[in-house]
Chains A and B, each alone.
Chain A
Amino acid sequence: MFGYVSRRVLSAIPIALIAVTACFFILRLAPGGPFDGERALPPATLANLRAHYNLDLPLIQQYFLYVWRLLHGDFGPSMVYNDFTVAQMLWIGLPFTLMLGFSAFIIGTAVGLFAGALSAVNQNKWPDYVLVMLVMVGLVVPNFLMAAILQLVFGVYLNWFPAGGWQNGSLVHLILPVTVLVLPHAGRTARLMRGSMIEVLGTNYIRTAKAKGLGQRLILARHAIKPALLPVVSYLGPGLSYLLTGSLIVEQVFALPGIGKYFISAALNRDYGLVLGTTILYMFIILAVNLLVDILYAWLDPKVRYH
């Protein structure tokens, strides 16, 4: 197990490096720069600015400089928000994004697993039909539309929850954004869980368990849940990616101060440092979660460990 884990950790390092490199060069080879404004700057000012941010060095040298600083935890300066370094901006936003993402992740996974299992156990009875309908709604209503509908219904007409804003993280401000993120995640999880659970319930060893007189609860708890979880666990990594993508929208729609808030404007303004920093941070979160998922998978399915 230890060998397996350390192999996975080591293989994540080149992935991270390749992604940083690709992102750096795509961004730099594109036309335009952070100082292109409505009015052109005087050449001397521009040259000074470029020298200040090391943009006058050869590209390859800039790249090594960036990676070297990154290894020391320095994301460089933001070129548009002059008063902040990228690390400061991300450090402010990170707790919000993590709180939003992980609470949606945990709630969504739990709700999805429960709904999927319930649906599979009652296959083709009314609880199954109701749940399948709800899952479909979660799957096909895009998150930005769901956000608009929830804001309108619960924020404006019913006035139960605030339609946006943060207010130092009070719970009522979190309910709508988290719901928007939970619905599609729970939907996908439930769909996978239902399918795999139905498959497991049809296997011979479940029939054997029934034949020797075990109660349904015991069969589910001892024999059915663990193998049925496998496909769901392998979805958790991509699932988190979807969630973080969704948080980009949710942070914009509900005006929350997370790390995704500045991403679009930063990309439009060619704020190299901020775009790279945000992408890298998202990537590290996703890689870390994927690593955890792999370890969980190895624990659930012993076959994986020995490959």
Chain B
Amino acid sequence: MAGLTGKDAVLTEYAKKLETLDAPKGRSLTQDATRRMVRNKAAVVSIGVVLFIVLFAFLGPYFLPWTYDKIDWSGIRKPPNFEAGHFAGTDQNGRDMLARIMQGTQMSLIVAGVATLVSVIIGVVYGAIAGYFGGRVDAVMMRFVDIMYALPYILFVIILVVIFGRNPVLLFVGIGCLEWLTMARIVRGQTLSIKEREFVEAARASGASSWAIIFRHIVPNLTGPVVIYATLTIPEIILTESFLSYLGLGVQEPQTSLGTLISFGAPVAETLPWMLIGPAVVLVSLLLCLTYIGDGLRDALDPKDR
């Protein structure tokens, strides 16, 4: 019997559907998260832009007449010139800026990917072990993290990079080793609550070892926060890398990265503006979009804030 208010009408309709066995389907957590993500316009646009930048960096060089290290002796310090195939001008050595921007973006993206992976692995393993074993192990391990937090660690990275040479692999690992602290804290906090759950107790009762419990049962349940935080780490790492490159401690010539390009472009921006504008636009839009994606993922996967 339909009532007077809107609520009654809805309930009646629902009751009818139940009678005809046409009950609405429940939504899983993943579906819920996807729906929220899709509704977040800034995040969707950002995903598109980041995909475009990735394609631009990795496929773009195949469509250009110049490579990043080829010198065009007739076009040194020239503004964009479509006939010569320099779509974004050339630098002081006559190298095509667009090709260099693509190569630099590639380098920044690779550093970001590898360093994020390193930081996620260290952070998850460290945090899960500290959280699971608890007690004195936890106290000592987290005290170490506190210590690392208090140090001007960028200075340590500078010292490391300077001393062990400008090896790109070292750059990746060094930056990764720098950014795992927050990840470890987040993972430890989550582990503390997960380890009290029934399924962990069941695993322990059935005789699983501590390591099996940590890596089979606890770590997979950390996916949400780890993914969110990893996405937010990527722009941090790109910033750190460009910071080091700006100081001249990044990858070596003729290879380049966005930070290096900006450091060369900044002093001459008054007379050769195309040397600064291109890399600056790519770097800023990359960072902006990654931050929006991270925020969107957090809002979608962690419903606490709404």
Contacts and interface: CB of A to CB of B under 8 A. Distances in A.
Interface residues of B, number: 38
Nearest to A241: B152
25 contacts: A15-B150, A30-B163, A30-B164, A136-B288, A141-B284, A142-B242, A142-B243, A144-B243, A144-B266, A148-B265, A149-B280, A152-B269, A156-B270, A244-B152, A245-B154, A245-B243, A264-B158, A264-B249, A267-B158, A267-B159, A278-B155, A283-B150, A286-B150, A287-B150, A290-B150
Contacts, number: 105
A279 B105 CA distance: 31
A171 interface: no
Given A245-B152, A286-B151, A287-B150, 15 more contacts: A30-B163, A30-B164, A139-B291, A142-B262, A144-B259, A144-B262, A156-B270, A245-B154, A248-B154, A249-B243, A263-B158, A278-B155, A279-B155, A282-B155, A286-B150
Q: Chain B CB within 10 Å — which of A249, A267, A290 has the most?
A: A267
B305 A142 contact: no
A145 B247 contact: no
A71 interface: no
B235 interface: yes
Nearest to A195: B305
Interface string B251-288: 00000000100110110011000001000100110011
A241 B181 CA distance: 14
Contact of A268 (B162, B263, B280, B288): B162
Contact of A19 (B151, B243, B249, B276): B151
Interface in B140-161: 147, 149-156, 158-160
A145 B283 contact: yes
A149 B164 CA distance: 33
Nearest to B289: A140
Contacts of A220: none
Contacts of B288: 136, 140
A88 to B, nearest CB: 21
Interface of A: 15, 18-19, 22-23, 26-27, 30-32, 136, 139-142, 144-145, 147-149, 152, 156, 195, 198-199, 237-238, 241, 244-245, 248-249, 252-253, 263-264, 267-268, 275, 278-279, 282-283, 286-287, 290
Main secondary structure, interface of A, reads helix
B239 interface: yes
B130 to A, nearest CB: 17
B269 A15 contact: no
A144 B249 CA distance: 14
Contacts of A252: 247
B94 interface: no
B248 interface: yes
A26 B152 CA distance: 15
Contacts of B87: none
B247 to A, nearest CB: 6
B242 to A, nearest CB: 6
Q: Chain B CB within 10 Å — which of A142, A152, A198, A268 has the most?
A: A142
Contact of B160 (A26, A279, A287, A290): A26
B246 interface: yes
Contact of A142 (B162, B239, B248): B239
Interface of B: 147, 149-156, 158-160, 162-164, 235, 239, 242-243, 246-249, 259, 262-263, 265-266, 269-270, 276, 280, 283-284, 287-288, 291, 305
Contact of A275 (B153, B159, B247, B283): B159
B155 A264 contact: no
Given A145-B283, A267-B158, A18 B147 contact: yes
Contacts of A238: 149
A30 B170 CA distance: 14
A10 to B, nearest CB: 13
A26 B305 CA distance: 44
A96 B149 CA distance: 25
Contacts of A22: 156
A76 B106 CA distance: 44
B155 A263 contact: yes
A140 B160 contact: no
A30 B165 CA distance: 10
Contacts of A139: 291
B112 to A, nearest CB: 14
B208 to A, nearest CB: 33
A283 B246 contact: no
A144 B262 CA distance: 9
A238 B150 CA distance: 7
Contacts of B152: 241, 244-245, 279, 282-283, 286
Nearest to A266: B162
Contacts of B291: 136, 139-140
A142 B279 CA distance: 12
Nearest to B181: A238
Contacts of A282: 152, 155
Contacts of B147: 15, 18-19
Contacts of B247: 248-249, 252, 264
